């Protein structure tokens, strides 16, 4: 009887563990699917700036003098175009089947992502000096650009050295920074309504769009199996 009881307990524990694992797997797939969907939608969003009036979206808060400034325009369009491209391809780097079965495709996606990020982050750091909301917003976006540049460049360098563990960890942080383009557009409408205006909300969102993302990335990296 003791043996049978022990057997039943083991079976119950195994069933409970299997149920937990399957639930975690389902949640993981759902989360990844949502990240991919939002990345694709927001990745295509910059194209709207070429289809509508110049005063569309975030440009509506910019002065006429700034909108005709050559260097600012190069920075702005360089930032949104290459940032959009980074979002469009970045999430695909984390698909295990591509990494394991099609390593050449994975490397090519990675090269496009890294090239796009380096251009977009440099442009982003430049135009952040002109951010709506003054110094508070500017500092938030400048630091975001620096973090994005640093994590991406070093992730690439570690891959070149063959240190795949550090490469993967830094790439998680890199895409968390990249995903700020999505979280910004989630937080901004909500906070604009709560705080009673675009400018005060934008000052907060300049930090809120990326700091929590990096905290989530830290948790993922910390819990990642070696």
Those residues of the chain that have pLDDT short of 70 are 1-26, 52-58, 225-226
Question: Sign of the CA dihedral 162, 163, 168, 170?
Answer: negative
Question: Where do the structural domains in the chain lie, given as residue ranges?
Answer: 41-223
Structure tokens at 214: 């990096």
> How many residues does the structure list for the chain?
226
pTM of the shown model: 0.84
- The reported pLDDT for the residue numbered 54 is 62
The 10s digit of each residue's pLDDT in 73-131 is 999 999 999 999 999 999 999 998 999 999 999 999 999 999 999 999 999 999 999 99
| Cα separation, 221 vs 207, whole angstroms | 21
Question: Do residues 112 and 92 lie in contact, with contact meaning Cβ atoms separated by under 8 Å?
Answer: no
Task: For residue 51, count CB atoms less than 10 angstroms from its CB and return exposed for 0-12, middle for 13-18, buried for 19 or more.
Answer: exposed
Question: If you search the block for the tokens 């360098």, which residue do you land on?
Answer: 157
């Amino acid at each position: 009887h003791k043996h049978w009881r022990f057997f039943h307990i083991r079976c119950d524990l195994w069933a409970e563990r299997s149920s937990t694992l399957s639930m975690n797997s389902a949640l993981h797939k759902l989360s990844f699917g949502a990240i991919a969907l939002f990345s694709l939608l927001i990745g295509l969003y910059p194209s709207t700036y070429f289809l509508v009036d110049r005063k569309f979206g975030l440009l509506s808060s910019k002065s006429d003098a700034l909108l005709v400034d050559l260097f600012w325009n190069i920075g702005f369009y360089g930032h949104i175009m290459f940032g959009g491209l980074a979002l469009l391809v970045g999430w695909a780097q984390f698909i295990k089947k591509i990494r394991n079965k099609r390593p050449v495709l994975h490397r090519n996606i990675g090269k496009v992502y890294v090239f796009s990020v380096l251009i977009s982050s440099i442009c982003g750091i430049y135009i952040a000096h002109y951010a709506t909301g003054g110094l508070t917003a500017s500092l938030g976006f400048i630091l975001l650009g620096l973090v994005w540049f640093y994590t991406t460049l070093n992730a690439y360098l570690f891959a070149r050295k063959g240190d795949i563990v550090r490469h993967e960890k830094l790439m998680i942080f890199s895409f968390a920074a990249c995903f700020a383009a999505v979280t910004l557009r989630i937080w901004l409408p909500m906070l604009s309504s709560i705080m009673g205006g675009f400018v005060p909300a934008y000052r907060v969102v300049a930090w809120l769009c990326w700091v929590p993302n990096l905290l989530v990335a830290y948790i993922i990296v910390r819990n990642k199996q070696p």
